[in-house]
Amino acid sequence: MPEYIPEERSIEELVAAAQEGDHTVQDYLLNSYKPFIAKSVSEVCKRYIDPMHDDEFSIGLTAFHDAIMSYAPDRGSSFLSFAKLVIKRKVIDYIRYVQKTPVAASLNDNDGDDQLENPAEVVAVKEIYREKQKAWYLREEILDFKEQLDAYKLSLDQLTKVSPKHKDARQSAIAAAKILYQDQILRDYVRRKKKLPIKDLTQKVNVSKKTLERNRKFILAIFIILLGDYTYLKEYLKGVHS
């Protein structure tokens, strides 16, 4: 009998044990969360996923294992939110690979009538596909971001209203968020309390307490993005900062 009782430990605690080399916990997680994996894969494929026969499920299972081994709680996301994002990205990459192969072959094979596909058209199709994939990734990141905002009692609608209108104000708020993220003590405080340490932050930035309080929600939102596994939202952030 194992020394632990999985049901009495949070999934984050179990993941930490698996990362430390507890293979019993690792097997428990992989087996217990197969329905979660299948559902996550199904959301990408838009159809029922049979764990026994669909290759996509195997990709999802491998991705779930990767998520277990790479999860970092200090990023702010719950493990299951992080795992779902990893699974969906891996499955999408697999689908891209499968769909790309016939296109590549069509550029090299002559079917006998001397009519090859127009390379320019192929490039255009691939570009459209890449844009669709980027849009899908961004949509998934936004859904996860909304969940994280909710934990801080924030919403996208609120951010639309409170985001600084002037460039200098945006840059100052983003700089404050980066200081929060880079300072472990402040970072842990925000993650634990779900609010800004206004007094401590005032001593580390070149803006007034009043300005920090006015931009509090925006600073927290940027902090959440920095904390999370958000490839495209962070790219967007670079544009906002410029």
Q: What is the per-residue pLDDT across 138-159, written as a single tens digit (0 to 9) for each?
A: 787 888 888 889 989 999 998 8
For residues 65 and 59, give the distance between their C-alpha atoms in angstroms, rounded to a whole number.
Answer: 10
Task: Decide: 41 and 56 in contact? Cβ < 8 Å.
Answer: yes
The residue ranking higher by pLDDT, 103 or 65, is 65
The residue ranking higher by pLDDT, 113 or 126, is 126
Query: Which residue in the block uniquely carries the two structure tokens 């961004």?
Result: 138
The residue ranking higher by pLDDT, 107 or 222, is 222
Task: Decide: 82 and 226 in contact? Cβ < 8 Å.
Answer: no
Q: Which two tokens stand for residue 100?
A: 């790309």
Task: Decide: 163 and 220 in contact? Cβ < 8 Å.
Answer: no
Q: What is the pTM of this model?
A: 0.56
For residues 103 and 123, give the distance between their C-alpha atoms in angstroms, rounded to a whole number.
Answer: 10
pLDDT of residue 97: 79
For residues 4 and 218, give the distance between their C-alpha atoms in angstroms, rounded to a whole number.
Answer: 42
Distance of CA 96 to the CA centre of its chain: 19
